[in-house]
Amino acid sequence: MPEWSIFMRRITTLPNKIRIVTQGLKDRDSTALGVWVGAGARYEQDSNKGVAHFLEHMAFKGSNKYSCDAIKQRVEGVGGNLNAFTSDEETCFYAKVPAQHQATAFDILADITFFPKISKKDLDKERTVILEEIKMYRDLPQYYVVELLEQLLWPGHPLGKSLAGTPESVGALGVKALRDFQQAYYLPSNVVICACGRVDHDALVDLVAKKLSGLTGQHDPRYTPARTEQDKPAVHFFYKDTEQMHLALGSLAYETNHPDYIVLSLLNIILGGNMSSRLFSEVREKKGLAYSIGSGTKSMGDTGLFMIRAGVDNRKIVDALRVVLNVLSRIRKQGVSADEFQRAKDYFKGQFLLGLEDTMDHMLWVGSALISNDQVRTLKEVIARIDSVTPEDVKRVARHVLASSRFNVSIVGPLAEGQQRELRALLGVV
């Protein structure tokens, strides 16, 4: 293996438009590989809701070259692991193996991604598994509350509907629906092959060319635009007899390439990104109103969200939301202190660097960036963007994203009518 391949990032585009990106990482003995497809839940219609996720499941049931058992045994038998995930805009099939097994891992991932068998027998069996998965998430209030929140953020839009689909839509999906979705989106111009760790770029390019150069077709990258603005708050209360209330507060935020995306990331750290954050300190440490509370962000091609999640004592849900709203109000009005701001920057840089030490985490960053943004920033560029943010930027973004008119609140738990009235009054929801 050429020594320079341990240090450099390289990108090659094949004649059929498949992109291959590798990132050599020094002193690694593993390779993480991912086959990325720019297709996810937001490309679905009501009639085939859940098809992207279903197709991901079916890939592991067997392909033209590998049986279901062989797929797992060939990777796990050498100490590796493999899996896949579907998001709103992407699907990724990935594996991590000792570096000498790179060729085998790629061949398996490519075969299950582009040449799955999808038999009716396997589909009917896997349908039962997915229906149970849907039930599981609905039974877990900490997950279902987020689904309800996304319904408020993007009402009637694919982003506001369950990624896994509904029992009705999944129950109606057949072999043709899965094949049609694959033929529409699993096309070479919509594919990135990514490998990070101890990797030979030229060898991987040769493997991809031999395996996938016969794929043809151009994908249509269009999707239904999602909203980014909101003029009044909204709530969704779901009664469930639980021992704890589950709260999610979210607001529409920024798309992946928005110039203020990094600013929002710093605001997130300050508000709820760790145990030093304002929300953790105020809601849990000082008031004892929640066992868990934190915040996060999510970005897509044309929209995004900022979200706070908490698990709250059933009797304290109103008090907890009142404290959360006060914390958000203060940062809108007062901004952040110099010390708090610097800690957030240092935390951001430190977490970013630590996250890139593992070959799999590095592959997920590089692959996702290329498939969604057509570019991968260097570490130096990311650090420079973080350093360029000012406290005034954070206050400006807080005033926009955390405006009370943009708030959406979902709660799962045994809410009494009186609690519902108080919560609506706090949020100004008529």
**Span 133-164, pLDDT tens digits:** 999 999 999 999 999 999 999 999 999 999 99
In tens, the pLDDT along 212-239 reads 999 998 887 789 999 999 999 999 999 9
Quickly tell me which residue has 């991932």 as its tokens: 109
**pLDDT grade, residue 2 (50/70/90)?**
very low
Give yes or no for residue 3 having a pLDDT over 70. Answer: no
Residue 301's H or E segment, with its range, is none
Q: Are strands 234-239 and 408-413 parallel, antiparallel or unpaired?
A: parallel
CATH number of 234-427: 3.30.830.10
Q: What is the pTM of this model?
A: 0.93
pLDDT at 5: 44
Cβ–Cβ contacts within 10 Å for residue 121, how many? 9
Quickly tell me which residue has 């589909």 as its tokens: 123
pLDDT at 219: 80
Average pLDDT, the chain: 95
Q: What percent of the chain is modeled with pLDDT above 90?
A: 92
pLDDT at 7: 52
In tens, the pLDDT along 331-383 reads 999 999 999 999 999 999 999 989 888 999 999 999 999 999 888 888 889 99
pLDDT at 8: 77
- Per-residue pLDDT, averaged over 180-197, amounts to 97
Shortest CA distance to 394 belongs to which of 287, 271, 295, 302? 271
**Distance in angstroms (rounded) separating the CA atoms of residues 67 and 271:** 48
**pLDDT grade, residue 324 (50/70/90)?**
very high
Give yes or no for residue 4 having a pLDDT over 70. Answer: no
Give yes or no for residue 1 having a pLDDT over 90. Answer: no
- Per-residue pLDDT, averaged over 202-214, amounts to 97
- Give the domain ranges of the chain: 3-212, 234-427
pLDDT at 374: 86
Shortest CA distance to 36 belongs to which of 84, 105, 107? 84
pLDDT at 180: 97
- Per-residue pLDDT, averaged over 266-286, amounts to 97
Here the contacts of 63-67 (C-beta below 8 Å, separation 24 or greater) are 63/111, 63/112, 63/115, 63/116, 63/117, 64/111, 64/115, 64/117, 65/107, 65/111, 65/115, 66/108, 66/111, 66/112
The structure tokens listed for 223 are 């999707």
State the sign of the Cα–Cα–Cα–Cα dihedral 178, 179, 180, 184: positive
- Asked whether this chain's domains 3-212 and 234-427 adopt the same fold, the reply is yes
**Distance in angstroms (rounded) separating the CA atoms of residues 230 and 398:** 15
Shortest CA distance to 152 belongs to which of 19, 57, 248, 65? 248
Report, as residue numbers or ranges, the catalytic residues.
Answer: 56
CATH of 3-212, one of 3.40.1010.10, 3.40.50.300, 3.30.830.10, 3.40.50.12280: 3.30.830.10
Q: Are strands 191-197 and 19-24 parallel, antiparallel or unpaired?
A: parallel
In tens, the pLDDT along 39-58 reads 999 999 999 999 999 999 99
pLDDT at 17: 96
- Per-residue pLDDT, averaged over 391-419, amounts to 97
In tens, the pLDDT along 46-94 reads 999 999 999 999 999 999 999 999 999 999 999 999 999 999 999 999 9
